[in-house]
Amino acid sequence: MTLTLIALEKPTADFAAVFTRNALPGAPVLIGRKRLAEPQLGAIVINNKISNVCAPDGVAASEKICAAAGQLLGLPATAILPCSTGVIGWSLPADKMLEALPTILPGLQNESVLPAAEGIVTTDLYPKVRRAEVGGGSIVGIAKGAGMIEPNLATMLIYILTDIAVPREELRAMLQRVVGPSFNSISVDSDTSTSDTVALVSSSQVPCENFTAFEAALATVCCDLAEDVVRNGEGVRHVLRVAVTNAPDETTARQLGKVVVNAPLFKCAVAGNDPNVGRLVQAIGKHVGNLPSGSFDLSKLRLHMGGIEIFANGVFQLNPQKEEALVAHLKSAELYSSIIPADGIYLPAVDYPPHERCVEISIDLGTGSASATIIGGDLTHEYVSENADYRS
Amino acid sequence: MTLTLIALEKPTADFAAVFTRNALPGAPVLIGRKRLAEPQLGAIVINNKISNVCAPDGVAASEKICAAAGQLLGLPATAILPCSTGVIGWSLPADKMLEALPTILPGLQNESVLPAAEGIVTTDLYPKVRRAEVGGGSIVGIAKGAGMIEPNLATMLIYILTDIAVPREELRAMLQRVVGPSFNSISVDSDTSTSDTVALVSSSQVPCENFTAFEAALATVCCDLAEDVVRNGEGVRHVLRVAVTNAPDETTARQLGKVVVNAPLFKCAVAGNDPNVGRLVQAIGKHVGNLPSGSFDLSKLRLHMGGIEIFANGVFQLNPQKEEALVAHLKSAELYSSIIPADGIYLPAVDYPPHERCVEISIDLGTGSASATIIGGDLTHEYVSENADYRS
């Protein structure tokens, strides 16, 4: 287990957080929701390996750790946000964590967030850090997350720090707005964690001259981190970017995109660089067939993959040349080749993102003016290896 | 491609069928829906390999085959039900099929449905036949289906034949009722095919003395075939049986069971004989968290796996002895051990169902009196191998 401490030089009133919508959340999420009402936040303490979800006396264990961290930092327990990620159902080793806390204090530094980004990971292949400069200050965000990823708010741990002064209420309203097109528009495996947390903390040192510019920079950091989480998703070898356009409304567009990135057969075909676009059409038809009858007209559906038209006027638009081009597009988006190991346990063959390319899918519904872009991953042997054997 | 012909000795008015709810269905489904209005059905002609979905002139191709089959049998084209399963998006080789049709006529026999059950398969490991005796006659059903299985009506091809005389309207009402707890209560991979068809045909030779007994026997055949389809599901090494009890209503119970059997992380854990029940709790919380807030109370949730209590009173009820017993339960339900092949392409190591055991999960919501039982499978390397490389 790694314990990570993010401490502010002085506590701030300007902080925001959103948490998982899972109905059986972890003890740190239950505590975190209460912290939103506190006047100030001074630190965040994070452990990996054990998520402290529905464990006996889980809330008491997390509160004990907050109290001890607060005592070391000269803060009340209520100024500490606790976070845990890892196996669901196990109890935190609270006594050992209390022993360890004083030993991490000397390691606090203000040079780099990289050690924190490295400390919070579980099955992540690499740390994820994104930064934006805005109005004389900056926004820095770190992310943990690789599996159990379909945020319904944000299935992962995200910490975003800024020196720009934005008052608490504005900060919270902005965070609510930016999570929609970022962390709520991704899925690795359709599972929603019990521990997801996005926290945004301002040290309020640089006056904010332009709220719109700040929110735009915040949105960029969030969208970049969200895509990082998918690109580093468990076993992900292809990132899928599904742009749904001309939809009747944004909710419809987002739901349809989610169904496509979560359709197992299509995900497997992508993993195999197989342009089996029939499975893409199946996924769209499955979703629309489940909606109340008459709520949707698919007669104007047009599909492209990698810029190539594959479906229009109710029929496929395919030929051998297009199939070849689709295979080339899939191969160009591959993050690494799958390697068959001697022991049969597949492992991802990268420890960094080799490129930022995606399998580009466009779904034009032709029935409105709303749109949404959803990011997801394929379904690979590496995902099964990681989750049939790994415990977290 | 295999062409299969099921012909009645004489046409009947007493037939029923339900089809996929996918909004982009295949040409045979479009035709099949119209056939329900016809006075008589005389034969069913089925091909595998190509599903004839959204292909140019797909309806015309299927109708041509019906017309040719009808001519051979002395029936109008409208008395023939066409069915296709296989790759979505490709066109039927209609000319070659027309050439082949006369050659299969001499093979018609009335001894066994096994050749038909063998003829309609694609990735199925073995043919699926179920039979029930009732009131001096019998009901015989065959099934094709292994992947793209989450019926919303019935993601597969099912043909049920009986000599018991049940009039058309009663037959159709019965079929509508029995598909709910059978074919609409299973999922292999959450994908819904564009070609699903369940057809029930009576030759009306034996008078029906007891409609209730007939419907009960029909329900047994359908439930048995539905479980067969999952047990033979692509890459399935464990069948999951999820009993949801004391739910506020049946729809809620069925939806919750579906979410559990479709949760990828829990499915992978089962594949690895890993009793990671945290992922089961995650799946339940994910679903309930997505419902309108306040619509559901999880405070009385009780979970059992293999008869062992694992969750009650808001916390896990686990200890090392229970974990060992859970592993033993998972292992006892395994259909075959996964074998790592030299070429890295996993293949299922059985060609018959070695036993009928399931991983037994019980979800007691404690908030009502409705219940539902859902059957699903795990998520394995064999599933990924089959669908990252196989084209159908």
How do residues B38-69 score in pLDDT, each as one tens digit? 999 999 999 988 888 888 899 999 999 999 99
What number of other Cβ atoms are within 10 A of residue B325's Cβ?
Answer: 16
Mean pLDDT of B95-109: 94
CB contact under 8 A, A380 and B388: yes
What are the C-alpha distances in Å from B391 to residues A265, A273, B87, B90, B267?
11, 12, 6, 11, 23
Tell me the C-alpha distance between A182 and B258, whole Å: 28
What pTM does this model have? 0.85
Does residue A212 carry a catalytic annotation?
no
* Helix residue ranges, H only, chain B: 27-35, 58-73, 94-104, 114-119, 168-179, 211-231, 250-261, 264-271, 277-290, 320-332, 381-389
CB contact under 8 A, B384 and A380: yes
How many Cβ pairs within 8 Å bridge chains A and B?
217
CB contact under 8 A, A53 and B278: yes
List the domain boundaries for chain B.
3-231, 239-389
Chain A closest CA to B192's CA: distance in Å?
6
B286 has pLDDT over 90: no
B239-389 CATH fold = Ubiquitin-like (UB roll) (3.10.20)
Tell me the C-alpha distance between A77 and B36, whole Å: 69
B20 within 8 A of B29, measured Cβ to Cβ: yes
Q: Which of A53, A298, A384 is opposite residue B24, by nearest beta carbon?
A: A298
A391 has pLDDT over 80: no
- Residues 49..68 of B with a Cβ closer than 8 Å to A: which? 51, 53-56, 58
Residue with tokens 């990924």: B384
- Residues 176..205 of B with a Cβ closer than 8 Å to A: which? 189-194
Q: Which residues pair with B137 in a beta bridge?
A: B134
ipTM of the complex: 0.85
What does R_g of chain A's alpha carbons equal in angstroms? Answer: 22
- Look at residues A240, A279, A270 and name the one whose alpha carbon lies nearest to residue A258: A240
Tell me the C-alpha distance between B136 and B132, whole Å: 11
Residue with tokens 């807030």: B293
Q: List phi, psi (to 5°) of A13.
A: -85, -15
Instruction: Give just the sign of the alpha carbon dihedral B21, B22, B23, B27.
Output: negative
Q: Which of B262, B318, B381 is opposite residue A89, by nearest beta carbon?
A: B318
Partners of B309 on chain A (C-beta within 8 Å) are none
pLDDT, position B246 = 97
Q: Is A233 helix (H, G, I), strand (E, B) or coil?
A: coil
Give B153's pLDDT tier (boundaries 50, 70, 90): very low
- Look at residues B34, B364, B19 and name the one whose alpha carbon lies nearest to residue B198: B19
Interface test mutation site (partner A, options B52, B268, B365, max chain A beta carbons within 10 A) = B268
Give the least confident one: A300-314, B42-56, B62-76, B145-159.
Answer: B145-159
Encode pLDDT of B291-330 as tens digits: 887 778 899 999 999 999 999 998 999 999 999 999 999 9
Q: Give CATH for domain A3-231.
A: 3.60.70.12
- Structure token digits, residue A23: 């109905």
